């Protein structure tokens, strides 16, 4: 579960920058972060509603491809078949809330942006 949270936090940081990255109708790339050794495929599609309405697709090795990713103001919600996450985009450190299960409830994790920001965008082969 911790690797999933790290994966979502890294992909989330990339997704939060999609306004600048998404200059074409669709761009894809791998987000690679040496500190966690995670590679994440992230897809960005600009909506017909304008630049404030973006849809994202996030892939990670634990849960596969997200079923829904949407930005709601300062939060990014990521839905997988067996998980739900809310990422606080403007928090310092980065806050990731993960819904684990009905019995366990929510878990909050903090990530230092300096660690997450050490990654980079690498074009798809």
Query: Cβ(54)–Cβ(44) under 8 Å?
Result: yes
CA 105 vs CA 66, 85, 98, 108, 109: distances in Å: 20, 12, 8, 10, 13
- pLDDT of res. 69: 65
* Tokens representing residue 33 in the block: 């972060």
Query: Cβ(69)–Cβ(53) under 8 Å?
Result: no
CA 72 vs CA 11, 37, 41: distances in Å: 16, 29, 21
Give pLDDT tens digits for 41-94: 344 444 454 444 444 555 555 556 666 666 666 777 777 777 777 777 677 766
Longest dimension (CA), the chain: 43
- pLDDT of res. 15: 42
- pLDDT of res. 102: 84
The larger pLDDT score, comparing residue 35 to residue 7, is at: 7
Res 108 pLDDT > 80: yes
Share the mean pLDDT of the chain.
54
């Amino acid at each position: 579960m911790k690797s999933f949270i790290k994966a979502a936090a890294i992909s989330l940081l990339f997704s939060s920058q999609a306004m600048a990255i998404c200059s074409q109708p669709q761009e894809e790339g791998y987000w690679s972060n040496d500190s966690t050794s995670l590679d994440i495929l992230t897809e960005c599609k600009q909506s017909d509603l304008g630049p404030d309405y973006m849809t994202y697709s996030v892939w990670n090795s634990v849960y596969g491809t997200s079923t829904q990713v949407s930005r709601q103001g300062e939060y990014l919600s990521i839905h997988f078949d067996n998980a739900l996450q809310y990422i606080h985009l403007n928090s310092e450190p980065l806050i990731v809330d993960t819904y684990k299960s009905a019995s366990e409830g929510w878990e909050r994790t903090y990530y230092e942006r300096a660690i997450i920001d050490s990654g980079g965008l690498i074009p798809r082969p």
